[in-house]
Structure 1
Amino acid sequence: MTAHMQRREFLTLLGGAAVGCPFAARAEQSGRMRRIGVLLPAVPDDPVWQARLGAFLQGLAVLGWAIGRNVHIDIRWGTPSADEIRKQAEQLVALAPDVILAGGASSVGPLLQATRTVPIVFAIAADPVGAGHVDSLARPGGNATGFTIFEFSIGGKWLELLQQVAPGVTRVAVLRDATQATAMSVFAAIQSAAPSLRMEVIPVNLRSAEEIEQSVES
């Protein structure tokens, strides 16, 4: 597999359905055991991530992937620690898997630092473009692809909705955490939509509940 695989090729190994012939069936015919790496940013007894992992394994089984028969799965629990996630990412890449599933956004960066050739599929990412994980949503490029949980252009829609609810409003304060790439991307969409709505947006930077209360009161 090359570093510049197409999005469909990435998801084929995890999804098990290539055009014309199921990937799982082809793996059995070739006699080769496929290897999937899984990196989860949590402790092993985390009930939420245990449930997500269970759903993933169940989905593979439904698609014809049987552990020990045509697929081997290496699971690494990185815990919330950045250093531990980085360590587990390096160890996982060293096993030479066919593809790696990054369970959370915090797993993607360390995996990309460890390899630029092994395909990486991330299940949850708020801003993969802003984080530098992919070139764009339409054309990810590189060796990473996956799913985003947010469409930042909705920020402009929020401003439109506000104008409909309160037509007389011309100045809007936007509370944001300037240290978060996601917050900055949403604000950029709001700021871009403001001129056409004849509205002025004022950024208010904050990082705690106390700062939110102070900003609202002022």
Structure 2
Amino acid sequence: MGRLSWRFPSAGAPMKRRTFIGLSVAAALPAVARAQQPAPKKRLAAIGLRKVEDMRIGRDQNSTIFLEELQRLGFVEGNNLVVDRWQYQVGHREEIAREVVDTKPDVISCVGTPMAVSLKAATTTIPIVAITGDPISFGLVSNLARPGGNITGVSVDAGVEVWAKRLELLASAVPKMANVVFISSEGSWTGAGGQVVRDAAQKLGITLVRGAVSSPFGEAEYRRTFSSMQRDQLDGIVLSDEGPAHLPNKSLLVQLIQEMRLPAIFTYPEFVEAGGMMSYSSDLKSLIQRAAVQVFEIFRGAHAGDIPYFQAEKFEFVVNLKTAKELGIELPAGLVAAATSVIE
């Protein structure tokens, strides 16, 4: 077999223009190929409250807000972004955390303080962006401005004063309210938020009792709590602010409260959309968008511990006039006028 060889024009011989161009292009090809190499795809592990198949644009409102904000920032699922999804399941937090960490994503996003706590215990290296309650109270970070470690996020808890505001709004809706049950975990009842609610109740002349629930919150736990309540001894219900931990059971909670025919105030508009009477909360849309920005910043090279943990600044007051009417309650006109959203 003859040897293959490249033959160049001899020294001093004129080089044809076509030959020169061909050699120049050949020499440039490796550099062009390198320049055209697509950037590596980023991998996001997302843990949400909805079913996995619903955590997509157009299927779930909060997932749509989050993914569309990432798109606006230049990360598009199916293009330069891979999203692996898990549904938060009560009682399986540690198992989910280990499974997610084993996939070695670039960033983990999650909803709920308990899930964030489990993820923090499972990894000290993979960046975590969490939507939680008060991250300091739950030991996620020690400083909002510089969280340190591998976790940052947004807090739906805008301060314990919001907890008292919910009781005040409920009292404004129901004159002569005397006895209220505060559905909460032990930590919320004994913590700063619970203390503020108890202080507000005292100022309003309301007797406040605890409807005890324990984490992980689930159907059996809620049913046990409600079965222990005496309907004729209560005038209203306030749901504690435990981050989004109550949300997976919103339909059950609304149903149980409707069965007791008691006015209640909730922590998120989703409860009111499901039939609850009122909610007062931070503006969840702006918080979800901020969480997406934090994911983007980490994709671009920022360290999670250097990104401030964002605290809510905007609030939503939502009322459901249909539910109030079914309960025989005529909400004061001034209260309805103060609502950011009214469900007729």
TM-score tier by shorter-chain length is 0.5 to 0.7
Matched residue, 2:185: 179
1:39/1:77 contact within 8 Å kept = yes
Compute the displacement of 1:173 (Å). Answer: 6.0
Q: How many residues align?
A: 182
Q: TM-score, normalised by structure 1?
A: 0.60
Give the whole-Å Cα distance in 2 for the aligned partners of 1:47 and 1:66.
15
Matched residue, 2:226: 208
Matched, 1:56 2:62: no
1:176/1:203 contact within 8 Å kept = yes
Give the whole-Å Cα distance in 1 for the aligned partners of 2:164 and 2:145.
20
1:41/1:107 contact within 8 Å kept = no
Structure 1 residues 105 and 72, CA, compared in 2 at 3 Å: closer, same or farther? same
Give the match's secondary structure for 1:109: helix
Compute the displacement of 1:77 (Å). Answer: 2.0
Compute the displacement of 1:48 (Å). Answer: 9.4
2:56/2:64 contact within 8 Å kept = no
The superposition leaves residues 136-174 of structure 1 with CA deviations (integer Å, 9 ceiling, x where unpaired) of 54553432222222331234556888999xxxx9xx866
Matched residue, 1:15: none
Which stretch shows the higher mean deviation, 179-188 or 33-42? 179-188
Compute the displacement of 1:79 (Å). Answer: 4.7
Give the match's secondary structure for 1:117: coil
1:41/1:78 contact within 8 Å kept = yes
2:107/2:127 contact within 8 Å kept = yes
Give the whole-Å Cα distance in 2 for the aligned partners of 1:63 and 1:113.
30
The superposition leaves residues 18-70 of structure 1 with CA deviations (integer Å, 9 ceiling, x where unpaired) of xxxxxxxxxx9993432222122443245799413333222211211133543
1:131/1:181 contact within 8 Å kept = no
Q: TM-score, normalised by structure 2?
A: 0.41
CA RMSD of aligned residues (A): 4.1
Q: Which amino acid aligns with 1:82?
A: G
Match of 2:96 among 80, 88, 98: 88
Q: Which amino acid aligns with 2:73?
A: L
Matched residue, 1:116: 124
Structure 1 residues 66 and 194, CA, compared in 2 at 3 Å: closer, same or farther? closer
- Bigger Rg, which one: 2
Matched residue, 1:132: 139
Give the whole-Å Cα distance in 1 for the aligned partners of 2:70 and 2:101.
21
Q: Summarize the alignment of residues 159-198 of structure 1 with structure 2, pairs less than 5 Å apart.
A: 175-177=181-183, 179-184=185-190, 185-191=192-198
Q: Which runs of 5+ in 1 are unaligned?
A: 1-27
Compute the displacement of 1:98 (Å). Answer: 2.1
Matched residue, 2:47: 39
Compute the displacement of 1:113 (Å). Answer: 1.9
Compute the displacement of 1:97 (Å). Answer: 2.0
Structure 1 residues 215 and 47, CA, compared in 2 at 3 Å: closer, same or farther? farther
Give the whole-Å Cα distance in 2 for the aligned partners of 1:118 and 1:32.
17
Give the whole-Å Cα distance in 2 for the aligned partners of 1:56 and 1:62.
10
